[in-house]
Amino acid sequence: MTNEELVESLIEGGHLKTPAVIEAFRKVDRATFAPEREKPHAYENRPLALPAGQTISQPLTVAFMLELLEPKRGEKILDIGAGSGWQTALLAELVGNPLREPADGGGKIIAVERIEELWAFAATNLTNAGFMESGAVKLVHGDASEGYASEAPYDKIVAAAAGAVIPEAWKGQLKVGGRIIAPVGEAIVVLDKTGPEEFEERKFHGFRFVPLVSNR
């Protein structure tokens, strides 16, 4: 299979819909982000094994979450659980590159990963894909269960690891009008911040994620 075949199957399955999201999936080659042993499977619609028992999420799950997140040019997005950096790269494509597109204002992705080995792996992959030197991505080694306050507030927050609830800190670091997409248990939750203390929630069931692990 090729990356294009993966994209076509996600479009046919109804998982990829928005032209900008489709374009990002075309530009970011999943194989660049797969560990050597998983590269032959990079274009299959399934999770891929990462070191330390983690996974690169299934393409249809990432497509579903990014379609819900609706990333826009110029936005600042917190990406919790960078893993391989694949989703980080898709997000960076979607918010725009501040060097390539200064007229757009460019966006920024703050990606946080708690496992050092994966943080280093993501850094290598994002460098190979050209995102590190452009300044489009800030990759942080740390625990984002309390968010990442020093870059807050964010237009959007997306998490790839599931907790029991959406942490209060994430809600506080979100702009009014912003949106969080995060797994809670085996559901994907969409949380819209409609006022300083007001939120609207929707839930989609039937997904599996690695756990959000707190260092506290």
145 binds ligand SAH (CB under 6 A): yes
150 is catalytic: no
What is the distance between the alpha carbons of residues 11 and 18, in angstroms, rounded to a whole number? 9
Parallel/antiparallel/unpaired status of strands 174-184 and 187-195: antiparallel
Q: CB of 93 within 8 A of CB of 126?
A: no
55 binds ligand SAH (CB under 6 A): yes
What is the distance between the alpha carbons of residues 82 and 112, in angstroms, rounded to a whole number? 6
Which C-beta is closer to ligand SAH: that of 84 or that of 173? 84
Shortest CB 152 distance to ligand SAH, Å? 15
Q: Which of residues 14-43 bind ligand SAH (CB under 6 A)?
A: none
For the chain, state the CA radius of gyration: 16
What is the distance between the alpha carbons of residues 147 and 150, in angstroms, rounded to a whole number? 9
Q: Which of residues 65-94 bind ligand SAH (CB under 6 A)?
A: 80-81, 83-84, 86-87
Strand partners, 199: 193
Q: Which of residues 94-113 bind ligand SAH (CB under 6 A)?
A: 112-113
The residue from 23, 143, 151, 192 that contacts ligand SAH (CB under 6 A) is 143
Which C-beta is closer to ligand SAH: that of 23 or that of 101? 23
Which C-beta is closer to ligand SAH: that of 157 or that of 160? 160
* Catalytic residue selected from 57, 84, 134, 145: 57
The residue from 25, 34, 57, 69 that contacts ligand SAH (CB under 6 A) is 57
What is the distance between the alpha carbons of residues 54 and 69, in angstroms, rounded to a whole number? 23
The residue from 7, 118, 137, 157 that contacts ligand SAH (CB under 6 A) is 118
What is the distance between the alpha carbons of residues 184 and 15, in angstroms, rounded to a whole number? 20
Burial 159-172 (b: 16+ CB within 10 A, else e): bbbbbeebbeebbe
The residue from 16, 77, 160, 166 that contacts ligand SAH (CB under 6 A) is 160
Shortest CB 32 distance to ligand SAH, Å? 11
Instruction: Determine the size of the site formed for ligand SAH (CB under 6 A).
Output: 24
The residue from 144, 180, 188, 191 that contacts ligand SAH (CB under 6 A) is 144
- Residues making contact with ligand SAH (CB under 6 A): 54-57, 80-81, 83-84, 86-87, 112-115, 118, 143-145, 160-161, 210, 212-214
Give catalytic residues, as residue numbers.
57
